């Protein structure tokens, strides 16, 4: 046990004493804050066109001409020019497009918009919205419906989400839940890759420098692997702890400086207070550590099986595919239905649960699902550590031979 502690101490202090480690503790929170600001600005302007766009409308149906409403940076011009003439103009002007509306415009793909370069999604959406509104108004007029009266009674209802709890009704915010869930999923995904790769690189460096032969003469391979995994894991935990503390301090300072403001950022901070951060933080630490132990053991086994980092690709893909698959689903689909069967199963299976469960946590997870997921993840990392250790003890001393899956199976069954 003393030897394992020495290895942990060496791995930990070798990394935390580096200037890059100290710099990253302060730089990463600033980068995340800056990135969040940039994303907010981009999201704010994403619904607007960056350049002045002109759309010349060629209306063969006679139902849309003169009814388009100009918008910010978007002007509609009804023209009697032929399509060929407008196309010739569009070839010379990137900000000019031709909108062809045939008589049978209701047919699939009948309406066309033509431009020199591919039109942006914002231009398409705004043009489609205008056409749908005009078509709806035309239909109401045709059926003798008073459009002015209909628009006057049109309502804009928004739902106020309330969560029923044992202690009473609590206001919740789906946007904040989605933001926190996706942020946790991304952090877990990046952390498992970054710190798992550090373990793998450390193993490869010691193996290629032949220093491993000296180390193995004093400690058992399993002790070396365990000490390296725990040491690097503590480095990651130290970084995350520092980032969390800095984030809490900055949030308190920001909240205090904006205490006189009844809306804006104070509104955002009050929304975030509706999320159970204590439970989310506790689960984040657990899933980071357990997920890291599961994957880093496999990364260590891969590092022991190769002689250089370029040879790791054939083994890395099967290991990381479940994690990558869950990450892609989390940021695109799962947050829309966090209690769907797919989300539930992914949050229970050990190889995918660190990412999927952290996405679901801000939305509330039944206790039995959370405990089952944690139990299976613990069993999972114990199993992978056992498998990885048997491969590691042989592979760490193998040189000059490219390993294959068949070889790894043989190494696993080698007797002590």
Q: What is the DSSP string of 108-157?
A: TT-SEEEESSPPPHHHHHHHHHHHHHHHHHHHHHHTT--HHHHHHT----
Lookup: tokens for 135: 């078509």
Residue 394 CA to residue 411 CA, distance in Å, equals: 6
34-39 CB contacts, 8 Å cutoff, 24+ apart: none
Contact 348, 324 (CB under 8 A): no
- Mean pLDDT for the stretch of residues 187-201: 87
pLDDT value, residue 165: 60
Binned at pLDDT 50, 70 and 90, residue 286 comes out as: very high
Within a 10 A sphere around the Cβ of 102, how many other Cβ atoms? 14
Contact 330, 362 (CB under 8 A): no
Give residue 385's Cα distance to chain centre. 27
pLDDT value, residue 1: 65
The answer on pLDDT for 399 being more than 80 is: no
The answer on pLDDT for 55 being more than 70 is: yes
220 by DSSP, 3-state: which?
Answer: coil
The HSE-up count of residue 138 (CA atoms within 13 Å, CB side) is 14
Lookup: tokens for 382: 């114990």
Decide which of 1.20.58.1030, 3.40.50.300, 3.40.190.10, 3.40.50.800 is the CATH code for 53-149: 3.40.190.10
Contact 77, 55 (CB under 8 A): yes
pLDDT value, residue 273: 54
Looking at per-residue pLDDT, the higher value among 29 and 262 belongs to 29
pLDDT value, residue 46: 52
pLDDT value, residue 91: 86
Contact 12, 35 (CB under 8 A): no
**Sequence ranges of the domains in the chain:** 53-149, 173-413
Q: Report pLDDT digits (tens) over 137-149.
A: 888 888 878 777 7
Share of the chain above pLDDT 70, in %: 82
Residue 234 CA to residue 140 CA, distance in Å, equals: 67
Per-chain mean pLDDT for the chain:
80
Biggest alpha carbon–alpha carbon distance for the chain: 93
């Amino acid at each position: 046990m003393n030897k394992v502690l020495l290895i942990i101490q060496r791995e930990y202090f070798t990394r935390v004493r580096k200037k890059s480690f100290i710099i990253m503790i302060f730089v990463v929170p600033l980068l995340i804050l800056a990135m969040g600001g940039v994303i907010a600005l981009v999201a704010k302007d994403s619904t607007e066109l960056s350049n002045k766009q002109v759309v010349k409308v060629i209306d063969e149906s006679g139902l849309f001409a003169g009814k388009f409403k100009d918008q910010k940076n978007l002007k509609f011009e009804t023209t009697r020019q032929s399509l060929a003439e407008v196309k010739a103009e569009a070839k010379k002007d990137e900000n000019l497009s031709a909108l062809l509306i045939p008589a049978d415009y209701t047919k699939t793909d009948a309406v066309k918009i033509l431009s020199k370069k591919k039109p942006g999604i914002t231009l398409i959406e705004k043009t489609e919205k205008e056409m749908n509104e005009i078509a709806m108004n035309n239909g109401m007029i045709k059926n003798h419906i008073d459009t002015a009266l209909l628009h006057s009674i049109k309502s804009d209802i928004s739902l106020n989400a309330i969560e029923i709890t044992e202690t009473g009704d609590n206001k919740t915010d789906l946007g904040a839940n989605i933001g926190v869930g996706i942020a946790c999923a991304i952090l877990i995904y990046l952390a498992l890759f970054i710190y798992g790769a550090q373990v793998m690189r450390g193993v490869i460096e010691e193996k290629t420098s032949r220093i491993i032969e000296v180390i193995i003469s004093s400690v058992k391979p399993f002790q070396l692997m365990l000490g390296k995994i725990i040491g690097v894991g503590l480095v990651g935990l130290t970084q995350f702890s520092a980032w969390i503390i800095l984030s809490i301090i900055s949030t308190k300072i920001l909240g205090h400086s904006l205490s006189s403001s009844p809306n804006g950022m104070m509104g955002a901070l009050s929304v975030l207070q509706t999320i159970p951060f204590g439970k989310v933080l506790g689960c984040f630490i657990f899933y980071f550590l357990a997920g890291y132990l599961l994957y880093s053991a496999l990364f260590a086994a891969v590092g022991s099986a190769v002689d250089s980092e370029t040879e790791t690709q054939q083994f890395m893909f099967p290991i990381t595919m479940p994690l990558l698959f869950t990450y892609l689903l989390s940021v695109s689909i799962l947050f829309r239905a966090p209690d769907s069967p797919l989300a539930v199963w992914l949050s229970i299976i050990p190889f995918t649960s660190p990412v999927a469960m952290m996405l679901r946590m801000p939305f509330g997870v039944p206790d039995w699902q959370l405990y089952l997921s944690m139990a299976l993840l613990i069993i999972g990392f114990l199993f992978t550590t056992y498998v990885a250790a048997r491969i590691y003890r042989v592979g760490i001393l193998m040189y000059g031979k490219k390993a294959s899956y068949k070889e790894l199976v043989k190494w696993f069954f080698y007797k002590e």
